[in-house]
Amino acid sequence: MRLVLQRVSSASVTVAGRETGAIGRGLLVLLGIEKGDTPGAGAWLARKLVAARLFPDDSGKLNRNIREIGGRALVVSQFTLFGTLDKGTRPDFHRAAPPELARALYETFLGQLEAELGEPVARGEFGADMQVALVNDGPVTLILDSPRSDR
């Protein structure tokens, strides 16, 4: 699994003109699921995400996590995180998990993250054409991959 974490002042997701999720200060989380991923990878990422010190303390150092600042999370599934342009100019998504597996792991990850945060997580709509709006704060953007034995 791969997460792209973006610290935001605000973020929202819209599907067919309907807002499916929105947050104020917190993290926009783009979630990519790869063939071979497991629920254990999602649990590891959820713990790491909640503990990540991506928010400044009073002296401006990145010493606070999402819970400490009372932030929220917005999770958007994004299979293109495992796309490549290794051959030619058209993206190849052969590393991305098939939709049936990805949907189940996406839902599992949402539950794991909600358990870690102790509150509901805003979300996009799996498999939909989504419009994501955000105000990137900092900007602070990190990529976090789950541990895998074959990487």
Residue 144: beta bridge partners? 3
CA atoms lying within 13 Å on the CB side of residue 42? 27
Q: Which residue has the tokens 């290794």?
A: 86
Round to whole Å and give the CA distance between 115 and 43: 10
Is 108 designated active site? no
55 is catalytic: no
Ramachandran angles phi, psi of 55, nearest 5°? -120, 145
Question: Exactly one of 80, 84, 93, 131 is catalytic; which is it?
Answer: 80
Active-site residue, 80 included: yes
Of the candidates 6, 14, 55, 79, the residue annotated as catalytic is: 79
Instruction: Find the catalytic residue in 6, 78, 108, 112.
Output: 78
H/E element, 8: strand 2-15
Task: Return the active site residues.
Answer: 78-80
